[in-house]
Chains A and B, each alone.
Chain A
Amino acid sequence: MSGFSCQRLSKTFFAHNAVVPALESIDFRVEARSFVCIVGPSGCGKSTLLRLIAGLLPPTSGCVCFDREASQDKPRTALVFQEHGLFPWMTVLDNVAFALVGQRQGRREGRRLAQAQLERVGLAGFAHSYPHQLSGGMRQRVGVARALLANPDILLMDEPFGSVDAQTRLVLQEELLNLWREQQKTVVYVTHDIAEAILLGDRVLVMSGRPGRILADIAVPLARPRMLTAVDSPEIKDIKWRIWNMLESEVRANLGTSSAPFS
C-alpha cells in the first residue's frame, strides 16, 4: 500500500556552470509501515533523496516507484524539513493548519483540526505564538505536528531533531515512536546520528559521501517497543561500530580528496 522503492535513482545538479552529482544509482525498497533510517556524511545527498521521494525535485534518472493498484492514487507523502520551514508570519496554529491547504476542508475546519493536533502534541498553549517566540525544540515539534496533520501515508523526516538538546531529543523520539505505533505510517528518517538511527529504525541505510550511494542496508535486531535508554547489547554495539567504520572512511576520503580546505 504505502511501500515504495527507489530504482537506479540519480540526481545531478547543474548550478552556475558547475555539475554536482548528488546521488548516484540509489536502489532500495521501503516496506509499508516500516521505519527506515538513513545515515550518511553531511553533503552526501540525504536531503536531496527525501526531496526526490516527496516529489519536490525531479530525478535526473531512475524513479521512485510507489506500490499501488492501477486504480489507486499515489500515496501521499509529507516531508518534515531539516530547516523546519515554519512560516515566520503565521502563528503556530496557522502554520500547522497549512498542512491542509491542499485538501478539501475550509479554513475554519482546518484550524479546528490544527488546534486538536496541537493539543495532542502538548503545544496547545502556543497556538497563537509566532515561531520566533518558540524554542528550537518546540519549533521542530510544530514541524512534525504539521506533517502529521496532513495525514500522509509516508512520513519523510530530515534530521528533525538535529538542533535539539539531548534530553529533549529523547522525549521527542519517544513521542515519535508512539505516534508511529498508533498511526501505522511508513517513516523514512534521515539523521547523521548513528545511535539515533539504530534506536529508531527497523533498518539503517548507510550512505557514502558525495555522490551518495547506498553502502549498506542493516537490519536492527531490537524488539519493539524499545526502551530508548537500554540499547547497549553487544550485538547493537557491533552494528554501531560497523556503521561508524564505514562512515569514518567516507568522511576521511572526502576530506582527503576535497581541494585542501585549510591551505
Chain B
Amino acid sequence: MAGWLLVWEMAATRRWISPLFFPAPTTILRTLLAYSASGKLVADLAATLGRLLMGLMLGGSMGMLLGLLMGGSPRLRRLVDPLVAAMHPIPKISLLPLVLIIFGLGESSRVVLVAVASFFPTVINTMTGVQQIPPIYYEVAANYQASPLTVFRRIIIPGSLPMILAGWRIALNTALVITIAVELITAREGLGAAIWLAWQTLRTEHFYAALLVIAVLGLGSNGLLHLLSAWLIPWQRQDHST
C-alpha cells in the first residue's frame, strides 16, 4: 500500500500522469487538512451521517418489524410479499422525483429515500430469517409449555438474528450509496455535495479528499457493525471473510 502511494506520488509530481486527474497524495492530504481546519469537513460529515443514520434507523426498523410479522404470519406474507418482491428490484434512487414531489425539496425527502432503500434489505432478510428457523424449535417450546411471548423473545428473535444483522449490513451499505447519490443531486452540504462542488469547480484534490472521507466512513461503519454482530451472536463462529 505504502509502495503504491509512493509510486502515485512520484508519478504525479513528475507529471507522468496529469495531476489534474490524479493529484499527488500529499496534495490530497494537504487539502484534507485544510478541509478539516475550516470546519467544513465536520459540517459535511455531520450532514451525511445525520441523513444516513436517520434514514437507516427509520427504514431499517420498519423493515425489521414488518419482516418479523411477515415471517410469523403466512397470511400477511401472502398479502405483502408480492408487493415487496415487485418493488425491491427498482433502483431506489430512481424514486427520487416521486419522493421530492411528495415530501418537498427539503431534508425530509433525502431521509425518506434513504429509509426506503434501507427498508427492503431488512424486511426481506428478517422475513427469511424467521422462516428458516427449524420447526423443531417450536416443538421444543410446546414441549415445555412456553408462552407465545417466550417463543418470540427466546426463539424467533435469536433464531433469526444472524439473518436480521445481515439485512442491516446490506441496508447500511445501500443507505450509504443512496445518501451520497441524493446529496450529489439535491444537497448543499454533505460529502456528496462536496464531491459535486469539487467537480463543478474542477478542484480534483477536493474530490479525492471527500472520497477518502466517504471510504473511511464506509469502512468504519461496516467494521462497527461487524463488531456488533460478533457481540450479539456469540454462538456463531465468526468467519473472517466478509
CB–CB B145/A101 < 8 A: yes
Docked complex: A54-111 residues within 8 A CB-CB of B: 54-56, 78-79, 81, 83, 85, 87-90, 98-103
In the complex, identify which listed stretch (B136-144, B181-189, B223-231) lies at the interface while the others stay far away.
B136-144
Q: Total A-B pairs in contact (CB under 8 Å)?
A: 58
Asked if B235 is at the interface (CB within 8 A of a chain A CB), the reply is yes
Residues of A within 8 A of B155 (CB): 87
CA distance A211 to B231 in the complex (A): 48
Interface size class of A (residues with CB under 8 A): 20 to 34
- Cα A100 to Cα B141 in complex, Å, equals 10
A103 to B155, CA, bound (A): 18
User: For residues 108 through 159 of chain A, which have their beta carbon under 8 Å from a beta carbon of chain B?
Assistant: 130-132, 150
- Looking at the assembled complex, report how far the CB atom of B26 sits from the nearest CB atom of chain A, in whole angstroms: 50
Binds A, one of B1-9, B52-60, B66-74, B146-154: B146-154
Is A51 part of the binding interface, using a Cβ–Cβ cutoff of 8 Å?
Answer: yes
Given the known interface contacts A89-B159, A89-B161, A98-B154, the answer about A78 and B146 at a Cβ–Cβ threshold of 8 Å is: no
Whole-angstrom distance between the Cβ of A82 and the nearest chain B Cβ: 9
Interface SS, A side: loop
Neighbouring A residues of B158 by C-beta, 8 Å = 87, 89-90
Residues on B with C-beta less than 8 A from A90 are: 154, 158, 235
Q: Determine the chain B residues whose CB is within 8 A of the CB of A79 once the complex forms.
A: 139, 143
Residue with the highest number of chain A CB atoms closer than 10 Å, among B139, B144, B161, B234: B144
**Measured CA separation A50–B25 after assembly (Å):** 71
- With A and B bound together, what is the CA distance between A131 and B142 in angstroms? 20
B113-159 interface with A by 8 A CB criterion:
136-137, 139-147, 150, 154-155, 158-159
Interface size class, chain B: 20 to 34
Q: A78-B144, A98-B154, A101-B146 are in contact. Are A88 and B235 (CB under 8 A)?
A: yes
**Residue B84 lies at the interface, judged by CB distance under 8 Å to chain A:** no
A130 to B234, CA, bound (A): 9
Given known pairs A81-B136, A85-B137, A89-B161, the reply for A130 and B235 (CB within 8 Å) is yes
Contact across chains for B235 and A101 when beta carbons are under 8 A apart: no
The answer to whether B150 and A101 have CB atoms under 8 Å apart is yes
Q: Is the CB of B233 within 8 A of A89?
A: yes
Query: A102–B235 contact, CB under 8 A?
Result: no
Given contacts A56-B139, A89-B158, contact A132 B144 (CB under 8 A): no
CB–CB B143/A56 < 8 A: yes
Partner of B139, one of A85, A98, A132: A85
**A146 to nearest B CB, angstroms?**
8
Chain B nearest CB from A154 CB (Å) reads 12
Residue-wise, chain A 10-51 has the 8 Å CB interface mask toward B (1 for contact) of: 000000000000000000000000000000000000000001
Shortest CB-to-CB span from A207 to chain B, Å, is: 21
Interface mask (A221-240 → B, CB under 8 Å = 1, otherwise 0): 00000000000000000000
Which 6 pairs across A and B sit closest by C-beta, in order of nearness? A102-B145, A89-B158, A85-B140, A130-B235, A101-B146, A89-B235
